[in-house]
Amino acid sequence: MHVFGRQQVVEQPQQTSPTIEGGALTFKNVRKVFAEHEALRSFNLEVHAGEFLSLLGPSGCGKTTLLRMIAGFEEPTEGQILLDGKDLTTLPAHRRPVNTVFQSYALFPHMSVADNVAYGLKRGNVKLHRSEITRRVSEALEMVRMDTHARRRPQELSGGQQQRVALARALVNRPRVLLLDEPMSALDRKLRENMQLELIRLHTDLGLTFIFVTHDQEEALAMSNRIVVLNNGVVQQVGESEEIYSCPANTFVAGFIGKQNFVPAVVETLGNPATGQPTVLRAAREFVEVHSTRPVHSTRPLQVGEEVLATIRPELMRVRPGSCPDMSTNEITGVVVGESFLGDVVQYLVRLHDGHEVIARVSTVEAPEVSEGDTVTVSWSQRAAQVFPKEAQP
């Protein structure tokens, strides 16, 4: 079972942190070109005030470039970036109500934790009294639960503690938008999971707008109100976590988010999702019918005889020993060529008759007693298969 996004958070933490009003960002036809490389192409988006938005994609997709333009470290080649209706496009970085938490944390090793957090207040445009700086620093450290470490130096802290200090330093100026540039990439898995919960808590308590850059799908799915999936500078899909995972817009999103099986097929009968009539496919190199009651991901009607791709998530597949009859519906015979015990699930790699391989993930308590070399039947429900036309491949 997958837990998606922030809609799963039903209880609000008891916290005394001050609410910081988040800003609404608007991107209008934003484009960025470096030399002859188009890093971002015609980007349009409304980011709601107080939203946790993740920019997700592979290396070089344009997500960090977009973050740097919000921060003011890069200017768009074309287009506008607005914060609460005010054009930020040419505004210098130090005048924007935006702060960034970097991947490296960038803490000063010769300063204490408190002095690191106070640095931005002392260097800011508005002069503050020493007592106000002390109060704000204490408040920020309490937000991230680092108030008992105020006198320590960064090198005396763990990686997770250093990240909390970097967060406090970014929050102490009370920005309207907090930018997070892959801040958890240097942490081990357990620390990353803990920091995910911390960031969710901070976002819920403070109410400001978070823009989170990551290539980690699980981070984005767990933490975000919405996700923007990018590839080669182009938006592939914008949506809530469950929508992105369960209803990908194209085969890039389907393959990039989580694991996916792609089965080449040909349309035999066109279905009607409104009435529950399935689309019937003939797998291209297997004697199997693929029935799907899901809407077809196409901007135009499919044609009988057209080549398509059926996608099925590994966790939606079932495995049983033995072969299935020819011309079966939503089940296929293959040979186990790999088996991995992953704790709560067992993962099987099954090679079909044509050499194509599929992955099936089965709950440990339901895993069949099969070994490498055994013949098995892999099956799935009509709701599990999704259909994409060949041009849905970016």
Q: What is the pLDDT of residue 13?
A: 40
The span from the first CA to the last CA of the chain, in angstroms, equals 29
Task: Catalogue all structural domains in the chain, each as residue range(s) with its CATH number.
Answer: 25-252 (3.40.50.300), 259-389 (2.40.50.100)
Mention every residue, 6+ apart, whose C-beta is less than 8 A from residue 18.
Answer: 139, 206
The whole-angstrom separation of Cα 73 and Cα 92 is 8
Q: What is the pLDDT of residue 44?
A: 98
**Residue 299 per-residue DSSP state:** S
Place of tokens 């935006």: 98
Q: What is the pLDDT of residue 283?
A: 78
Verdict on whether the full-model pTM lies above 0.95:
no
Q: What is the pLDDT of residue 39?
A: 96
Q: What is the pLDDT of residue 324?
A: 78
Burial letters 42-66, b for 16+ CB under 10 A, else e: ebebebebbbbbbbbbeeebbbbbb
Q: What is the pLDDT of residue 228?
A: 98
**Hey, what are 288's tokens?**
């199997």
Mention every residue, 6+ apart, whose C-beta is less than 8 A from residue 74.
Answer: 32, 65, 68
Within 10 Å of residue 41's Cβ, how many Cβ atoms?
Answer: 17
The whole-angstrom separation of Cα 255 and Cα 79 is 31
**pLDDT block averages, 10 residues each, the chain of length 394:** 52 49 94 94 96 96 96 96 95 93 88 93 78 92 92 93 92 93 83 88 92 93 96 96 93 93 88 81 67 74 88 95 78 94 96 89 95 94 86 57
**Hey, what are 253's tokens?**
């999103």
Nearest to 244 by CA among 222, 227, 261: 227
Within 10 Å of residue 82's Cβ, how many Cβ atoms?
Answer: 16
Q: What is the pLDDT of residue 10?
A: 33
Q: What is the pLDDT of residue 54?
A: 98
